[in-house]
Structure 1
Amino acid sequence: MKQKLIALDLDGTTLDAKSMLTNRTKLVLERAKQAGHIISIVTGRPYRISANYYDELHLKTPMINFNGALGHIPHHHWKKEYQKTFSREVVISLLENKSTLGIQVIAAEAKDTILIDQPQNFRSEFFPTAVSKQQLLTKDNLKNDPAAATLLINKENEATTATWIKENFGSEVEVGIWGGPAPIIELEPCGISKAFGLEYLAHSYQISRKNIIAFGDEHNDQEMIEYAGIGIAMKNGTDQIKSIADDITKFDNQHDGMADYLENYLQLAK
């Protein structure tokens, strides 16, 4: 079979409900690598909470973080590495209007840095619970433009805050609202999506779109699924993602849906 570039979202796709990689997922992806296919993680997660999955899968390929804003090869110097950013003034404005907008927590990140405005005793995988004084998100500490920002919002303010950001900074950032139970808004540089990162990978490997397979389940996977030659929505994916996908997995992420589909499509079963 012609070499494929396989783009994998993490949450709700490659990971199960406990944010773990199952044995079957690891086995199928290893067989895909051995068959000569290219496996790449394309995630909205920052590098700090995705590197462990990259290492567990023993990948050597580039990884895309922050929904396309960062492309790099972990643990290695890659001459094609890139990082897109937006103006720090966007985050400073959010800090200044935090109470009015109903924002509880703001985190601003780049590849190797995170600054966070964090309330006491807040717990979430996406927001670190222990930060140094230098990691406190303030106007003075935010010296560089970030690649991404993540906002925890009061549920009742979610839509109005997203609208406010678009009206004031729509030329600077892309605004995404998570579909899960937590009212989270994420920001990336304007024009950046997972498709941007996937296209960058495809050009780097000189692989045509028709030989790209992409798996996803949420709003931030839409452009990637549309760009890929074969865009696959997870059974547990949103109705919007399913409506634009070329196919849908038979099983959800809790039952190895991605691995099952890939094993059959690439004829990897032994």
Structure 2
Amino acid sequence: MERKLIAIDLDGTTLNAASQISPKTKAVLTKAREAGHYVSIVTGRPNRISADIYDELQLDSPMINFNGSLGHIPHHHWRDEYQYTFNKEIALDLLAHRQELGINMIAAEGKNLFLAVRDQPVEVGFFPSVLQSNQILNQKTLLENPTSLTIAVDRSHQEHLLSYLNLNFGDEIDAAPWGGPNSVVELGAKGVQKATGVEVLAHHFHVERKNIVAFGDEHNDSAMIDYAGWGVAMQNATTPIKNLAQDVTTLDNDHDGLANYLENYLKLAE
């Protein structure tokens, strides 16, 4: 079998509902690498909350964060490292208009950037419940262009926020609402998607598109699943993702769906 590049989403895909990696998943991904295949994490998560998973899987491949906007090798210098950013004035504009836009929280992030402001308590899993004084987002602290802005907004204001963003900054950024229970909108540089990162990985590993296998479950995986030669939707994926993929796992992310599928697909079972 030709070497495959296996691009794995984290939440809802590689991770179970408790955001953990099962022993089976770890074992199968290790076996895939031992068989000569490449495994890379391609996630919407920031690097600050995916490096521990990267380490747990004992990977040494490049990792893609922020839905394609950051490509790097954790703990190492990589000459092909890249990061897409957008103008920090967009963050400052939203900061100034946050009340009328129904914004409860804004976090500005990058590889080495984390600043946030919260006006109301927001239960969004990825954010520290207590901000240090040097993590407060304002005009004085935001000195570099962000890679990502995550905005928690009143559900009733979400459409208004999206149209405001599109009208004012639509040529600079893409805004995407999160799936799931939280009313959250995420901003990234225009036209950058997970497929952007997967293409970089394919060049890095000299793997043709037909030998890319990508696993995902949500709308932010669509470009990656479309780009891959073999796109696989999780059993728990949204209907559009299942319709886009070449195949669907038999089991969901809580029952080792990715691991079981990969074991059969790569014929790794003893």
Pairing of 1:168-247 with structure 2 (within 5 A): 168-247=168-247
CA distance in 2, matches of 1:192, 1:263: 31
Asked if residue 254 in structure 1 is aligned to residue 254 in structure 2, the reply is yes
Q: 1:37-71 CA deviation, whole Å, 9 max, x = no partner? A: 00000000000100110000000000000000100
Q: Which residue of 2 aligns with 1:9?
A: 9
Who is 2:152 aligned against? 152
| SS in structure 1 of the partner of residue 76 of structure 2 | coil
Which of structure 1's runs of 4+ aligned residues deviate more than 3 A? Answer: 119-124
Residue 123 of structure 1 and its aligned partner are, at CA, apart by 4.3
Report matched runs for 1:72-221 at 5 Å: 72-119=72-119, 122-221=122-221
Q: Which runs of 5 or more residues in structure 2 are unaligned?
A: none
2:39 corresponds to: 39
User: How far 1:159 moved relative to its partner?
Assistant: 2.1
> In the TM superposition, what is the alpha-carbon distance from 1:132 to its structure 2 partner?
2.3
Provide the secondary structure at the position in 2 that maps to 1:79. coil
- TM-score with structure 1 setting the length: 0.97
Task: Give the whole-Å Cα distance in 2 for the aligned partners of 1:168 and 1:120.
Answer: 25
> CA offsets per residue over residues 133-178 of structure 1, 9 Å max, x none?
2210001211110000101111111222112211211111111111
Return the TM-score normalized by structure 2.
0.97
Report the alpha carbon displacement of residue 120 of structure 1 after superposing the two structures with TM: 6.6
Q: Which letter maps to 2:212?
A: I
Residues 95-124 of structure 1, C-alpha deviation per residue, up to 9 Å, x if partnerless? Answer: 111111111100000101200002475444
Change beyond 3 A, Cα 1:11–1:81: same
1:209 & 1:191 partners in 2: Cα distance?
Answer: 20
Q: Which runs of 5+ in 1 are unaligned?
A: none
- Distance in 2 between residues matched to 1:130 and 1:205, nearest whole Å: 40
1:241 partner amino acid: I
TM-superposed deviation, 1:203: 0.9
**What is the number of equivalent residue pairs in this alignment?**
270
In 1, are the aligned partners of 2:122 and 2:152 still within 8 Å (CA)?
Answer: no
| Helix, strand or coil at the partner of 2:188 | strand
Shifted more, 151-160 versus 183-192: the winner is: 151-160
- Identity of matched residues, %: 51
How far residue 130 of structure 1 moved from its aligned partner, in angstroms, is 2.8
Q: State the match for 2:22 in structure 1.
A: 22
Amino acid at match of 2:111: K
SS in 1 for 2:175: strand
